[in-house]
Amino acid sequence: MSLSPLRPLALTALLLTATAATAEMPGVRTDPAGGALPAGAVVLTDTDLRRLNVHSLLDALDSVGGVMAQRRLSGRDGQASLDLLGFGASASGNVLVLLNGRPLHNLSGDLTRLQAIPLATVARIEVLPATGAVLYGQGASAGLINIVTRQDRESGATLQLQGGSDHTLGTELSGSAASDAGQALLGVRRLHSDGDRDNSRLDQGSAFIDLRRELDDSTLYLTALAGREEVGLPGALSGNLYRDHPRRASTPFDTAEQDHYLVNPGLVVRGAWADLYVEGSWQRTDRHHDRYSLAALEQDQLETWGFTPRVSGQLATGALSHRWTLGMDLYKTSWRQQVSGQQDADLDQRQEAWYLHNITTLRPDLFLTLGARSEKTTQRIDLPGGGAGELDARYELYEGGLTWQPAPVLALFINGSRTARVPLADEWRQASPNLRPQTGTLYSAGGRWEQGIQRSVFTYFRGRYQHELWYDPQGTLVNLDDRTRRDGYMLNSHWALNDQLTMTFNYTLQRSRFMHGVYGRNDVPGVPHRSHYLAFDWQARPWLAFTVTQRYVAQRYTFNDPANQYFPKQRSYYWTDLAATVQWQRYRVRASVHNLQDKPATDLAWTDGVQSDAYPLPGRYFLLSAEVSL
C-alpha cells in the first residue's frame, strides 16, 4: 500500500514541531462543559474512551444513545454514515461532524477522515443533539458531533500494536511534545484486514498533526490530516445467499481507493474586551472506484476552501452579562466526476453566512441563549447526458433556549431552532433537477444530572421538516412534497455501582414518520423505534479489568420501503462484546471477542418487493492489542 499522501504532512510536522505551543482549543464555538448550553450534550472523555471496548471513533459513537452507525463492512473503514435523531438513508446530510470545531466534511458524507484519527489523540467526543444550526450552518438538521483532540501539557508517546481475525494487523503511534512555550500532537495509524467477506480487504494509513504556538496575546494553531484507504466492495447479498453464505461477495472484483487531505490553520488574538479568531480550511478528497460489476471506472475529486473569521467576547449590561460571538463563514467547493463512457459531471458550490450567538446570564442559575444566522448557498451542476441542476437560496436560521440550574448537580433546558440543509455532492449523483433546500423546526427539552455515583443526560426531541431531501424507492434524491416528523427520547447514563463495578446504560425511543400524502403516517425506512447500549466494567484487580457490552437495534423497514408494505422487516439484532484488560506499569494488553453469539446482523438493507439486499456485518471475530507508554 502506498502512503505517499502522508509525506507532505510529515514534512510540515518537522518544520513546525519546535515552535508549537500549549493553548486551549480555540477552534471550538460551543462549550457543552460550561453548563449554560441548552442541549442534552453527551461527552465521552478520554477515560470513557479507554474503558469502552472499541477500536475506532465510529464504534465509540455507536455507543451513544440517539446515535446509530450505518455500516456496510466492519465499521473501521469510511463505508459508513452516522444517523442522529432517525433520518434513515439521508442521515449523513443531516448531522455535522466536526474536528476541533471545524467541519470534517463539507458537501461530502463519507467518514473516512473520521476513521483516520487515532483514538489515542482524542481528548473527548461531544454529541450535541438538536442544536448547532446557528453557529455552524446548514447540515445540522439533527445536531452535531465534535471530536476534540488532546491538549497535553506533558511530553510522551504511546505505541499500540493490534492483531486478530481475518489477518487483521494494525499499528498506532501517537505522541506529544510540550514545553512552557509550545505543544505538538502527532498520530500515525496503519491498518490491514482481509475482511470477513470475500473481496472486503481493507488497507488504511493516515497521519494526524495538531500544533499550537502561544505568543504574548495570541495563539497560532494548525490541524492537519492526510490518509489513504483501499477497500474491496463486496456488495449487498440477496435472499438465500445472505442467509446461507453471508461471507460471499456479490461484486467480487469491485474496489475503491481514496486519498484525503485536511489542513485547518488558525489565529486567535486576545483583546481587553473581545477575542478575534481568523481561521481557514482546505479539504480535498480523490476517489477512484473500479466497478467491474457495472463495467465502469469512476473517478472524482472534491475540494473545499473555507474562511471563517469571528469575534467573541463578554459584555455586561446592568445586572446581566453576555457571552457573544459574531462571525462569518465562507466556503467554496468544487466537485468533478469522470465515469467511463459518460460525460463528466461538475458541481460548484458557494456558501456565505453571517451569524450572531449570545448566552445571557439572567441570574447565577438561569441562562438565556439566542442566535440568528443568514446564509446563502449557490449550487451549479452539470450532469452526464446534458442534464443540469441549480440551487440558489437564502435562508435564515434561528435558535433560542433556556437553561436553569436549580442545584450545582442539576441542569434543566429547553431549546428551539430552525434548520436547513442542501444536497451533498454524493447525493447529486442520484438527484432530480431543481432541488430546494430542506428546512425544519427542531425542539428539545431535558435535563443533565451529575451527582455522586452517577451522571445522566435525558433529552426529548421533536422535529418537523419541509421539502426533506430524501431517496425515493427508485433511489433518486427528491424533495418530499409532504412534511416529515421526528419524535423521541434519549437517555445516556453512567453509574459507579461500587469501587470495582460501573454500568453504562444508553437508550433511544424514537419515531420517524411521513406526516401527509401517499405515505402519510408511515414510518421513515431504516429507522428503528428502539435501541439500547448496556455495558458493565469490572475492575477485578488493580491490574485486571473485564468489560461486557451489549447493543440492541430493533427491526425497521428497509431503506426503499416508504409504503411499509414489504415483510419481513429488516431484522432486529443483539450484538455482544467481551474484553479483558491487563495493565502493568507502562504496559496495557486487551483481548476482546466481538459479536459473541455470531448472530447475523445488518445495518443497511433494500428490497425489490420479493427479497431484500443487505450488507451483512461481521460474524464473531477476535482482536488482541498491546500498548506501551514511551
For the chain, what are the domain ranges?
4-629
Percent of the chain as helix, strand, coil, to the nearest 5: 10, 60, 30
pLDDT exceeds cutoff 80 at 387: no
- DSSP per-residue letters across 505-522: EEEEEEEEEE-SGGGTTP
Secondary structure letter of residue 153 according to DSSP = S
Of 69-83, 337-351, 527-541, the poorest mean pLDDT is in: 69-83
**Averaged pLDDT, 33-54:** 85
Q: What is the mean pLDDT of the chain?
A: 89
Give the rounded percent of residues in the chain with a pLDDT score beyond 70: 93
pLDDT at residue 12 in the model? 34
Tell me if residue 247 falls in helix, strand or coil. Answer: coil
Is residue 393 within 8 A of residue 436, CB to CB? The reply is yes
pLDDT at residue 112 in the model? 78
**For residue range 10-26, what is the model confidence (pLDDT) as tens digits?**
333 332 333 333 335 56
**Averaged pLDDT, 353-365:** 96
pLDDT exceeds cutoff 90 at 240: no
**Averaged pLDDT, 604-618:** 86
pLDDT at residue 474 in the model? 85
Residue 109 grid coordinates: 458524507
**For residue range 461-515, what is the model confidence (pLDDT) as tens digits?**
999 999 999 988 888 889 999 999 999 999 999 999 999 999 999 999 999 999 9
**For residue range 436-454, what is the model confidence (pLDDT) as tens digits?**
999 999 999 999 999 989 9
- Of the candidates 595, 624, 506, the residue with the CA atom closest to the CA atom of residue 61: 506
pLDDT exceeds cutoff 90 at 598: yes
pLDDT at residue 289 in the model? 92
**For residue range 111-140, what is the model confidence (pLDDT) as tens digits?**
778 888 888 889 999 999 999 999 999 999
**For residue range 205-229, what is the model confidence (pLDDT) as tens digits?**
999 999 999 888 999 999 999 999 9
Question: How distant, in Å, are the alpha carbons of 244, 245, 251 from that of 198?
Answer: 14, 11, 9
pLDDT at residue 51 in the model? 85
pLDDT at residue 17 in the model? 30
When computed from its CA atoms, the radius of gyration of the chain, rounded to whole angstroms, is 24
**Averaged pLDDT, 411-419:** 97
pLDDT at residue 113 in the model? 81
How far is residue 384's CA from residue 363's CA, in Å, rounded to a whole number? 59
pLDDT band, residue 354 (cuts 50/70/90): very high
pLDDT at residue 3 in the model? 42
For the segment(s) 4-629, the CATH number from 1.10.3720.10, 2.40.110.10, 2.40.170.20, 3.40.250.10 is: 2.40.170.20
